[in-house]
C-alpha cells in the first residue's frame, strides 16, 4: 500500500506555490500598497512598519522575479524607481478581495 506524500502534493499545487512565494517578509504589504498604484522604495519604507532597506529590497526583487511587480526606472535627477503591479499581479486582485471577505 502506498501513501501520498503531502509535500509532493503541495509542490505541484499552483495555489500552494503562489502562497509560498507571497509569504515572505513585507511581500503581502508591498502587494497591498501596489494595488493602490505605483509605489516607490522610500514610500514603502515609511508605510511598512518595522521595515528595513535590505529586507525590503529582497522582497521587491523576489516579487519582480515571480512576475507580480514591474520595476520602472524614471530617468530624472535624482533617479526614481517605481514599482507597479504587473498584469499577472493585477489578475490576483479579485482572489485577494475574496480572501478578505473570508477573514
Q: Does CATH number 1.10.10.10 belong to domain 11-102? A: yes
Could you give the 3-state DSSP secondary structure of residue 70?
A: strand
Give the integer Cα–Cα distance in Å for 7 and 55.
28
Domain positions in the chain are 11-102
pTM tops 0.75: yes
Residue-wise pLDDT tens digits, 44-88: 999 999 999 999 999 999 999 999 999 999 888 888 899 999 999
Q: 37: which DSSP letter?
A: S
- The alpha helices in 1-103, defined as continuous H runs, are 6-12, 14-22, 27-35, 41-47, 53-65, 87-91, 93-102
DSSP 78: S
Cell numbers for 24, please give them.
Answer: 515572505
Amino acid at each position: 500500500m502506498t501513501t501520498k506524500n503531502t509535500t509532493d502534493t503541495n509542490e505541484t499545487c499552483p495555489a500552494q506555490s503562489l502562497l509560498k512565494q507571497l509569504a515572505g517578509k513585507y511581500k503581502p504589504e508591498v502587494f497591498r500598497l501596489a494595488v493602490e498604484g505605483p509605489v516607490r522604495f522610500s514610500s514603502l519604507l515609511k508605510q511598512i512598519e518595522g521595515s528595513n532597506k535590505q529586507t525590503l529590497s529582497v522582497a521587491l526583487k523576489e516579487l519582480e522575479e515571480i512576475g507580480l511587480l514591474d520595476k520602472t526606472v524614471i530617468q530624472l535627477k535624482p533617479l526614481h524607481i517605481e514599482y507597479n503591479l504587473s498584469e499577472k499581479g493585477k489578475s490576483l486582485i479579485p482572489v485577494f478581495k475574496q480572501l478578505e471577505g473570508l477573514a
